[in-house]
């Protein structure tokens, strides 16, 4: 029997939701799958919504603690594209149903799922600054302003992706917006295509 923790319950819940859809998974289903009682569920998890509010935190932790992709390329722009492609890949793996529910939960009461995470913000601002210094990005505005705008552009396309029930075209449009917003050098503007289908 695996060790019981909020993380174990969360992972089981996410897998159930991926297979059946958010509305079709009950607390009883989660308890059965975890072999726990309802009081135990509420002790560890609080609610079904509480388990899906921090979907990006695991992705962000992986990004800031695994430098392989950043060492693998000298291009700062490509490092930035990798970060957003990783966020997109994880969003798509969770599915539009799960992300739609996370959005709905935050609309009812701001649960801070879409707040900027300091570790990722600092890393992206540094990458943008280096891309500006190399001439890969020609928009000379503050890296903090540019990253903030990119993060909100991404969230907008993510919401649109949920509304469209998972059309990957929405994320390709995000990369085109990134190119325009950052004023990416002409010879690098198709670089996102390396990541969009991964």
Average pLDDT over residues 5-19: 88
Read off the tokens for 38: 């309802």
Q: Is the pLDDT of residue 6 over 90?
A: no
Contact 182, 137 (CB under 8 A): yes
β-sheet bridge partners, residue 184: 137
Average pLDDT over residues 177-184: 97
Angle at 197 between CA 10 and CA 163, to 5 degrees: 60
**Any residues with CB less than 8 A from the CB of 34 and at least 6 apart, and which?**
4, 8, 9, 12, 41
pLDDT of residue 150: 97
pLDDT of residue 1: 44
- Quote the CA–CA distance of 184 and 189 in Å, as a whole number: 6
Q: Is the pLDDT of residue 168 over 70?
A: no
What's the whole-model pTM score?
Answer: 0.83
**Any residues with CB less than 8 A from the CB of 15 and at least 6 apart, and which?**
none
Residue 198's pLDDT band, with cuts at 50, 70 and 90, is low
Radius of gyration of the chain (CA): 19
Average pLDDT score, the chain? 88
């Amino acid at each position: 029997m695996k060790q019981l923790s909020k993380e174990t319950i969360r992972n089981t819940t996410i897998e159930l939701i991926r297979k059946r859809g958010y509305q079709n998974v009950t607390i009883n289903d989660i308890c059965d799958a975890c072999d726990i009682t309802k009081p135990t569920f509420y002790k560890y998890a609080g609610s079904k919504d509480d388990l899906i509010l921090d979907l990006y935190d695991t992705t962000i932790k992986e990004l800031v603690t695994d430098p392989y992709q950043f060492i693998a390329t000298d291009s700062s722009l490509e490092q930035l594209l990798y970060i957003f492609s990783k966020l997109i890949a994880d969003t798509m793996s969770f599915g539009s149903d799960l992300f739609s529910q996370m959005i709905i939960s935050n609309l009812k009461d701001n649960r801070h799922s879409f707040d900027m995470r300091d570790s990722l913000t600092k890393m992206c601002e540094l990458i943008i600054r280096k891309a500006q210094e190399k001439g890969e990005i020609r928009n000379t505005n503050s890296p903090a302003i540019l990253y903030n705008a990119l993060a909100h552009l991404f969230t907008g396309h993510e919401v649109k992706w949920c509304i469209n029930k998972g059309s990957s075209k929405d994320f390709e449009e995000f990369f085109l917006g990134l190119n325009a917003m950052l004023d990416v050098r002409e010879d690098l503007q198709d670089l996102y295509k390396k990541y969009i289908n991964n």
